[in-house]
């Protein structure tokens, strides 16, 4: 079963240059100062609680103590409450990353390294005062001007001028992050929820993500499973048999020479058959798709894993990518190689990281309940990463600060990760 594309939603992050007035810049610097202090305070609180009482402090605990903090430190009232909450969220993320062994123990941040803050909601659900019906109200307003400049009305800050080099649908904006670059320039990162279908329509391209694997040679995000060719396995068995025969013959004898020749012929047949198969497969891929994403495999590194070594060498992953790449050039298609980190582990539906051993064939997400073939899940993640190249925007997750401080660390390296949480989970394995 493959999921329908209408169900898949992405968060794209767009980065725009901002031009704050002198006063606004002063206010934003002030916010960074206040937020940096809050960040370090929240961090210290967790550290101390653990050290002294072996107590774990949660995000919700820290969020609930915000009003009390505000009473003690009235400066906090200068900052929008959701931005304060987001700051605490960053502390929480830093600890979660540490617990998952993905990062070192969170450290205090220097003011010079605390460079961004996030409004986690552009639109807020509220009840209509008259009718009581739920309605959406803007937390941040977008004021359009003639030309390419627009104003963002940031609560408690004021009007921020930005250059909108790409049109965005404001009704679907999700978060706004204000960022100060080391150069002193300011940027605004806006995440917008987009349906995959729309991206594809706009791109007018057929896109695919391909996972190369041990069990299946290739698994596509369209739910195609391409097996390692059987005839190669047969030839390889024969090769082994003939090799044994060779070892039993006296080195340098006529029979030994004959046997060696026989072996060389099988080697050649295998080489040719494999090349032939990979040519056909790459032809099929390039004919079927305009935009093909592979993982940027570090084959050398993989081959060091001895149990896998033979399969990988035989599978010809590298050759397949090479063939597809040059065929794509001639056909006007594109082959993209994406960062392979966590493509197998991350849930393609909600982004939750689900560690797996090589033996686990199924991806089962405890977070959103998605169940699907392991390789199919990976192919969807590879597609998602590849799409970032296609859209020019960055594909982010609901829980990732695509261009902010992230979870207290650096923003995700490619700024590419998960879809939003709002979709139906595909269940069952395709094929």
Q: Which residues bind Zn ion (CB under 5 A)?
A: 347, 349-350, 352, 365, 367-368, 370
Tell me how far, at minimum, the Cβ of 374 lies from Zn ion, in Å: 13
> How do beta strands 123-127 and 394-396 pair?
unpaired
3-state helix, strand, coil in the chain (%, to 5): 45, 20, 35
Q: Which is nearer to Zn ion, 106 or 430 (CB)?
A: 430
Cα distances (Å, whole numbers) of residue 191 to 119, 252, 392: 11, 71, 13
The CB density around residue 1, as the number of other CB atoms within 10 Å, is 12
Tell me how far, at minimum, the Cβ of 370 lies from Zn ion, in Å: 5
Would you state the structure tokens that stand for residue 12, as one six-digit string?
Answer: 């794209």
Tell me how far, at minimum, the Cβ of 189 lies from Zn ion, in Å: 25
Q: Which is nearer to Zn ion, 236 or 367 (CB)?
A: 367
Q: Which is nearer to Zn ion, 194 or 370 (CB)?
A: 370
Q: Which is nearer to Zn ion, 67 or 369 (CB)?
A: 369
The answer to whether residues 379 and 211 touch, using CB atoms and an 8 Å cutoff, is yes
Tell me how far, at minimum, the Cβ of 103 lies from Zn ion, in Å: 21
Tell me how far, at minimum, the Cβ of 80 lies from Zn ion, in Å: 31
Radius of gyration for the alpha carbons in the chain, expressed in angstroms and rounded: 27
Q: Which is nearer to Zn ion, 67 or 428 (CB)?
A: 428
Tell me how far, at minimum, the Cβ of 357 lies from Zn ion, in Å: 18
Tell me how far, at minimum, the Cβ of 365 lies from Zn ion, in Å: 3
Residues 255-261: contacts with CB under 8 Å, at least 24 apart: none
Tell me how far, at minimum, the Cβ of 382 lies from Zn ion, in Å: 17
Q: Which is nearer to Zn ion, 88 or 349 (CB)?
A: 349
**How many residues does the structure list for the chain?**
431
Q: Which is nearer to Zn ion, 88 or 370 (CB)?
A: 370
Per-residue b or e along 239-260, where b marks 16 or more CB atoms closer than 10 Å to that residue's CB? eeebeeebeeeeeeeeebeebe
Give DSSP secondary structure letters for 152-194: EEETTTEEEEEE-SS---GGGEEEEEEEE-TTS-EEEEEEEEE
> Phi-psi category of 205—alpha, beta or left, where left has phi over 0 and alpha has psi -120 to 50?
beta
Tell me how far, at minimum, the Cβ of 381 lies from Zn ion, in Å: 11
Tell me how far, at minimum, the Cβ of 350 lies from Zn ion, in Å: 3
Task: Return the closest-CA partner of residue 14 out of 172, 229, 209, 234.
Answer: 172
Q: Which is nearer to Zn ion, 325 or 417 (CB)?
A: 417
Q: Which is nearer to Zn ion, 179 or 399 (CB)?
A: 399
Which residues have C-beta within 8 Å of that of residue 168, sequence separation ≥ 6?
Answer: 14, 190, 192
Tell me how far apart the alpha carbons of residues 140 and 189 are, in angstroms, rounded to a whole number: 13
Beta-bridge partners for 175: 191
Q: Is 57 helix (H, G, I), strand (E, B) or coil?
A: coil
Q: Which is nearer to Zn ion, 324 or 370 (CB)?
A: 370
Tell me how far apart the alpha carbons of residues 29 and 401 are, in angstroms, rounded to a whole number: 19
């Amino acid at each position: 079963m493959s999921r329908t594309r209408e169900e898949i939603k992405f968060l794209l992050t767009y980065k725009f240059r901002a031009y704050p007035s002198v006063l606004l810049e002063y206010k934003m610097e002030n916010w960074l100062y206040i937020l940096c202090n809050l960040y370090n305070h929240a961090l210290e609180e967790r550290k101390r609680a653990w050290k002294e009482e072996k107590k774990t402090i949660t995000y919700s605990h820290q969020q609930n103590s915000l009003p009390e903090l505000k009473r003690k430190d009235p400066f906090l009232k200068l900052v929008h409450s959701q931005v304060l909450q987001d700051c605490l969220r960053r502390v929480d993320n830093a600890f979660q990353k540490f617990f998952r062994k993905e990062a070192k123990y969170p450290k205090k941040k220097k003011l010079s390294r605390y460079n961004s803050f996030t409004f986690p909601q552009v639109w807020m659900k509220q009840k209509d005062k008259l009718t009581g019906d739920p309605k959406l109200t803007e937390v941040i307003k977008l004021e359009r001007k003639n030309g390419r400049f627009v104003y963002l009305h940031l609560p408690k800050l004021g009007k921020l001028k930005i250059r909108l080099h790409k049109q965005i649908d404001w009704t679907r904006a999700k978060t706004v992050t204000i960022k100060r670059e080391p150069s002193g320039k300011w940027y605004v990162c806006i995440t917008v929820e987009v349906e995959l279908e729309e991206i594809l329509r706009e791109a007018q391209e057929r896109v695919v993500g391909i996972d190369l694997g041990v069990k299946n040679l290739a698994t596509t995000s369209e739910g195609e499973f391409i097996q390692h060719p059987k005839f190669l396995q047969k030839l390889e068995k024969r090769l082994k048999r003939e090799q044994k025969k060779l070892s039993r013959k006296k080195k340098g004898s006529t029979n030994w020479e004959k046997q060696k020749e026989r072996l060389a012929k099988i080697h050649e047949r295998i080489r040719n058959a494999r090349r032939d198969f990979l040519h056909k497969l790459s032809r099929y891929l390039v004919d079927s798709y305009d935009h093909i994403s592979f993982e940027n495999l570090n084959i050398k590194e993989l081959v060091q894993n001895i149990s896998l070594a033979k399969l990988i060498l035989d599978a010809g992953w590298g050759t397949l990518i090479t063939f597809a790449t040059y065929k794509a050039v001639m056909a006007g298609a594109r082959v993209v190689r994406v960062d392979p980190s966590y493509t197998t582990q991350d849930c393609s539906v909600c982004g939750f990281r689900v560690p797996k051993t090589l033996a686990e064939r199924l991806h089962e997400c405890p977070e959103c309940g998605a169940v699907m073939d392991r390789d199919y899940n990976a192919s969807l993640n590879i597609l998602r990463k590849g799409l970032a190249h296609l859209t020019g925007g960055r594909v982010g997750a609901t829980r990732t600060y695509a261009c902010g401080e992230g979870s207290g660390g650096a923003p995700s390296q490619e700024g590419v990760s998960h879809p939003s949480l709002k979709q139906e989970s595909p269940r069952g394995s395709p094929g």
